[in-house]
Structure 1
Amino acid sequence: MVEVRIARSENERDDAFNVRTKVFVEEQGVPLSLEIDEFDKSAQHFIVYEDTRPIGAGRIRETDKGIAKVERVCILKEFRGQHLGFLIMKELEKHAESAGMKKIKLNAQSYAIPFYEKLGYMVNSPEFMDADIPHRAMEKEIQS
């Protein structure tokens, strides 16, 4: 069974960090010093589990009043293509809405823009480099 959970313990946070490390550091070559940052302590972390195995992760944090930022969304390579990215994004959006957020922002890797567009996000920046990977800023207004 696949489910998305909010990290409520150190072990669950570690599960999120382990998935992120596999995807961003090992697979994409992002330095660990950039992947784990100062926002990890204050962000709300979400983990996708297949039974007890962590297979996806993402985080959300408030950046300004009423504005949430979704970051570090990833699914282990062998589980991609199963709509798990949509599953975690819907949970992140529900969390933002329940917290009274009016807008969600994110920085999408350029190849992932069509994925986020299907969820209603709109590109609002030119391409820029982050950790040597091309990105574009995107945002979505949400109901509250």
Structure 2
Amino acid sequence: MTPGTPDFAFTFIEPGHALYAGELELRFRVLREPLGYTRADVAFPFEADSLHLVAHRAGTVLGCVLFNPEDAHGGRLFQMAVAAHLQGQGLGARLVRTLEAELVRRGFNHVHLHARAPAVPFYERLGYSVFGEPYTEVGIPHRNMHKTLGA
């Protein structure tokens, strides 16, 4: 921990965990509510099959990132969210790096994601590369990105 910066606990959880409701609320507030979506639009059909990493302090979820395995070697990072008052302070990078370390430990070697256009530089700093053409998803511009883990 850097002096002057708050520390967080990082925990892998599953739907039904005590922190899961907080994860859903954070995802709604950061990712869906600003676009006019409802709470019902937050959960994905493959939630139970996905790896959920949350950053929390004093029982409050302040960041999260999920990974859905698509085969034995890789899958998709999705629903990356950090509480608005903590954005730009390194928590998102810590979440992604912690998730990636766990994926490597579990034998995964590649990740892809759908990045909102403003988030592309964030992921590029973490070693992700853009591929394919720009497209619109949930009404906003996105880019596909990927990374080989352990490279």
Q: Specify which of 97, 106, 118 is matched with residue 111 of structure 1.
A: 118
2:36 is matched with: 29
Q: Which position in structure 2 is the counterpart of 1:126?
A: 133
- The structure with more radius of gyration: 2
Deviation, structure 1 residue 76? 1.2
Identity %: 22
Aligned length: 144
Give the CA deviation at 1:45.
Answer: 0.7
- What SS does structure 2 have at the residue aligned with 1:135? strand
Residue 4 of structure 2 corresponds to none
Q: TM-score, normalised by structure 1?
A: 0.91
User: Is 1:18 aligned to 2:22, yes or no?
Assistant: no
* Structure 1 alignment gaps of length 5 or more: none
Closer, same or farther in 2 for the Cα pair 1:104/1:135, shift >3 Å?
Answer: same
Paired position in structure 2 for 1:94: 101
Q: Distance in 2 between matches of 1:64 and 1:31?
A: 31
Partner residue of 2:10 out of 4, 24, 40: 4
Distance 1:95 1:53, change over 3 A: same
CA deviation digits over 1:108-132, x for unaligned, max 9?
1011000000000000121111110
Letter in 2 for 1:125: G
- Deviating 4+ runs (over 2 angstroms): 27-35
**Given that residues 23 and 76 in structure 1 are in contact (C-alpha distance below 8 angstroms), is that contact kept between their aligned partners in structure 2?**
yes
1:1-80 matches, within 5 Å, as 1-8=7-14, 9-80=16-87
In 1, Cα distance between equivalents of 2:33 and 2:41 = 13
User: What stretches of structure 2 of length at least 5 have no aligned partner?
Assistant: 1-6
Q: CA RMSD in A?
A: 1.7
Higher relative contact order (CA 8 A, sep 6+): 1
Judged with a 3 Å threshold, the aligned counterparts in structure 2 of structure 1 residues 32 and 52 are, in CA distance, closer, same or farther, namely: closer
Rounded to whole Å, the distance in 2 between the matches of 1:85 and 1:99 is 21
Amino acid at match of 2:48: K
User: 48-57 or 84-93, which moves further after superposition?
Assistant: 48-57
Conservation of the 8 A alpha-carbon contact between 1:30 and 1:131: no
Q: What is the deviation of 1:42?
A: 1.0
Scaled by the length of structure 2, what TM-score is found?
0.87
C-alpha deviation, 1:31, in angstroms: 4.5
